[in-house]
Structures are given as C-alpha cells and as structure tokens.
Chain A
C-alpha cells in the first residue's frame, strides 16, 4: 500500500517503528499517524458502529469526524488519524462506547499562558497570520491539532494559479516548506510559540477585554490542559469535508478528499487501487490527478451538476490520462461487506433526480467525496461573533470587515473558516488578519502600508472569473455587516 515511486514527492526511507494492533505485531514508519500505519498494513476497519455493528474506518482523515477513535496504550477515544505512531504502542479496537480506562493518564498539571495573539490553526492562513504578527512585534501562540504545521498546504502538490506575486507556478508543498522555515526561525527568536498536537477546546470570556481559551495539548496519548489568555485571536480553523447520503456511505473506503490527499501525499500510503471520484470541482479534479501520480487508478469522476465546476486545465489533464468525467451523474449506492467493493452510479435529470435504468455498476475499492466543504466555526460561535448563512461561502460564516475582524473586538478570521476559498487567498487573508490585529494592539512596523498592499493583492486574486463565488460571498458578508452597524 506504500507508494514506491512518485513524480513529485520524495518519500525518503524512514526509521521503522514496531507496534501492535489487537496483539498483531505490525510495522510502520517514523512520521506515520496511527491510522496511516494501520492503513499501510491493510487495516481499514478501525471500529464497529454503535447500533448496527457497521464496520468503520476514518472518513475525514484530519481529526474532525471522530470516526477513527481507538484505544491506545489503554487510553480510549484516541483520534488515530492525527495521533503519532510510537514504538511498541498497543492499538486496540474499542468496543463502541469504551469502558473507562484504568490507565493513569491524567497525572498532568494545568498551565497558564499569556500572549498578545492566539492563532487557531496552522494551515496557510494561520501560518501567515503568525509570521506577520510576529514580525510586527506581537507575541504569538500558534496552536494546531496535527502533528506538524501546514494544514492542507502540505498536501497540495500542484502548482498554484494567479499572478507571480501570489506565488503562481509554485507548488503548495514548496510554499508550505518556506512558511515552515520562517516559523521555525521566529520560534528560535522566541517570537512564536508553537503548540502542535493541541486543540483549542473552548472560549471563555476574559477580564478587561481579554479573551480566554482552554487548550488541550496531547503528550504521548494523554493530555495537558492550558489556560490561554490573549489580547487578540485569529481563527484560521479551516473547514470540514461534506458528506453525501447514499446506502453504504459509512463503509471503510468512502473517504473525504482531504483524507485521500493526506494518506497519499503526507504519509505516502495509497488509499486503494481503484477510485471513484465524486465531484468535479477543483478539489475532485486535482485529487484525481494526484491519485494517478501516486499510481492509483481512477475509474471516473462523477459530478451531479451538468457542468464541470473546476478549472478546465485540470479537467483536460485528467481526460488526457484517460479518466472520463461524467456530468449529471451521482452515486446511487456503495456496496461491500467490510469495505468498499464497488459502487453504482446513476444519471440525473435536470431536476437532479436519478433516471431509472441508467444505473451502472463500477468496480472500485475507494469512493472519494469531493463535494464541498463547510467552514469550521464552532469556536467563533462560542465567542459570540455574528454569523450568517452564506451559500457561496459554504455555510455559516462569521461576519467580518476587510481587515478580517469579526463583530467582536480583537477576534479575527482568515482562510476557509471565513468562507471556502483557496490556499492562495487564505494566505493573504491570514497576512491581513495578522497585521491588522497587531496594529490594533499597538504594534506598527510599516503596518498600514503592508495592509494596503495585501488588500490590493487579495482584490487582484479574486478579480478573475474563478474568483466570482468568493467575491459574491464576501460582498454578502459586507452587506450583512453594514446592516448590523
């Protein structure tokens, strides 16, 4: 299941790690998550479902869906898709609602941290926010759930579009490397405090206009509670993969596009041998091409809309490789005993209803869902910011001004959690939020000029035909905001 040769990524030989799965001795590599190591060993079923005993594996692969919970070294409910693999650990299938653990995993003391700016999520937006704020002179705490920074950027092996200034022609993974290096430099200068394997679990009102958060840092497989007090916060928490409704939609083998990308581009593990891609937006098209690069067959791409949503460059590339794209088609059902063994696709009429008699059976072991994302806004709603449902933004989003500040003082948003868009715009939004937040706190290293420059870059990026949807989304957000004030 490991990718042997890849045209873009060099999966260097890493140190072997031995671990146990239900007493079976298995091997993974350093840098693996528990889930990726299991998967590379052919283990797709991680648990059984609560009521129907359905076999279950992960779905989102990035720590959001909680479908991958297992017991590790006696500790129940470990999210294995974001938990690092360690030597000799014992990974077990947990029985539905797991019994309370006898393991002593809570002998940790609470800690308190005080900073100028808390940045939640170290994807493209969060990394840029942190770097910019640190350069302005603000003390920054950057928190991310994953084992390393980078968010979805470390999976984007394709070259970016846009103009030169916005890094067009550069691969996402290369940009991620540069940002990582910059963060490391600022960490060494004690300007950024980075906490990975950590989750901001809740918002609590602070004293004297300050904001207070609970953060849980996972150490080994136990956790430490941090109380974080900050003057400002940037929420760059990304988004959650959308699910589709069809029989068999919970079978192991049905994954979000993010999970597939993570498995192959971060861990070098093939998600399967033959994939049915659902959704012909940019994510669906790009991930299909990445699957081919990883040596995985793509049976076809089905798209419920009558037109291809993504860039035609990507669609053309796929077609040249012999992958057909079926518009006005959807998944009718997915079948298989323990894992996906195949799927049935069906043609849709102009009202998106299935046309009887057009069903076609497909042999595949993976069904990849690339049917849109929903912004992650739960912490924002806890903090009491005004939200509105904006379809073009992917769901509920926090109202924010052009400096990315929400309706609550010193609370900012950036990236997908402020409306689904692309990594290139997420980075600029992050920069704007980072500089604007710092400026408001009294740090000013040429801040106003920088803001002007970034705002212009953002407008330029959105000015093309593909910037239409986010442009509409942001205009609606501004209108709602004007109504409020």
Chain B
C-alpha cells in the first residue's frame, strides 16, 4: 500500500478552506490560479479555466467570511482587458490588479472595480516582448517583475509597462532559469523566483544580482520538484509551493527547512452549502475514508493527491494576506487552503 508523507510538526496552523467547484458563472472557482487582496478587505481570485472553457475565465470577488461579492470579466479574445490563458495575478500598493496571460503574451492591468487600465507585451524575446509570462510581482515603488517561462528570464517594467531590464537565460547556473513560474518580493525588495524546471528557488537583489539558491531536485526536506510559487513574510520566512511533490514547504530566512504540509482541506462554507442540499452524497461521504491506503502502483504525489481529497492537488500559487495568512491556491481542486505561521 502507498502511504502519503505525513504533515511534519511545525508552526504552520490550518485555518480553513475557501471555494467550491463550479462549471458556470457565479459563486465557486474553476481552476483558480492566483489570488490577491485589496485594501478594503476583498479577496480577488483569478479563475484560469481552460482552453475549452475560456468563457468562464474571470476574477471572482469574495471576503474572508466567504461572502461572494461578484466577479468581473472582459471576455475571451485579444481586445483590451480580454484574456485567453491567464496565469499570474498580483495587486499593487496603488490597487492595480496585474494579470499575466501566457497565450496572449502580455500583462493586463485593471482597477479593483474591474475596469481596464492598460496592457503591454507581445510574443517575442526582445525588450518589452514576452514569451509565456507567468508569475508577476509589483514592488512598493510600482516596478513590475514578470517571469517568462519560454524566454527563461525575468523582465522588469515600470508601472506604465516600459521595459527596464532583463535578467537570466536558459540554463541551470546561478541566475539562469528553466521555465520560471512564480515570483515574490520580500520586505526589502529582494526578488525570489520559483525556477520551476530547475527544482529550486533563486533569490536576487531588486536589480537582478544573484544572491543565493535554495533547494535541489528531490522529495526530501528542503528539496523540490517543480516549485510553482514562493512567498516571503515580514520576518523573512519563505513559503514554497512544491508543485511536483504536491506539498508546501516552510523555510527560515536562511533557507533551512522547517515544515512540510501535505494539505488538510475541510469543507468550505460553500461546500457545506452544497452538501446540505445533496443529502445522499453527504451521507455516503460520512462513511468514506478520504485519506485511504492506496495500491502500490498509485505511488506518485500526483496520483496520491488525485485520490486523497484533503491533500493539495496542483498548488499553483501562494499569497500572504495583510494578516500574513497563507493562501494556497489549488488549481485541480478549485479551492484555497488557508494556513498561518504561529509566531511564538
């Protein structure tokens, strides 16, 4: 029998799960890929959907009490504010929502009412051009950082979208990348990049000077398999979405391993609503073991997560809200698990 790695002891505490699957507009998520927080307490969730259901792409709006406040979408296409395969999202200090689209190769900026502000980028490898933009972060001064998966680089823009600088190239040396995905900034402006296919996190100064590298390929503590996202809290603790291992790892500010999380989702408020009107499903669920022992051939983190509902399955983004609660966005389970580091 295959058994999953247990959640290790540590300071991370599970708070709750947000979301529910939907196949239509309205309350619920469809392949969420990122989230962000506005100054007035709203939570914005980027719903990626997929190529066959681009009409469902949208940003859903809710609050911590899981009240669904609405959604906005400019529809599918190449026009202003429209999207095809949106991947990354962040909300800047001046309350601008930045969304990357890996199919349209551009960054689009909205205000928090969902109105289009500006966009930039086209497919290419020159300055100002993008190829597979993924993770996006905005510094306090408005500087925008974009990870480009197919150009294997980070490109820096002004808040108006003017190209400033480019770092990196394909490779596995310091400062090189292989299909980078998520990126994050710490309080001093250093840039952390989830160097996805190199199985590591790289840390840079805000000007692109390589500082250090965390992790290597593997399944052990402090090792990664295709990390998709990284977040850094006010005390420098580093959170990594270890996508290929279907887990979250907590590192200290020097990159030392502290804790691994495999996921412990419970029914969200919306999921409880669903169960309350589907009693036959609820009753059979009550006698089910949702963390079952599995046959030996189901032995990869992906296969285990596909069979084990509380575990992370497709953790694609990590975001810290103003209270430093960690939001783990799970694309395959259409939900967000929320944790918080205990500060003893």
Q: Is B one of A's binding partners? A: no
Query: Which B residues contact A (CB, under 8 angstroms)?
Result: none
Query: Which A residues contact B (CB, under 8 angstroms)?
Result: none
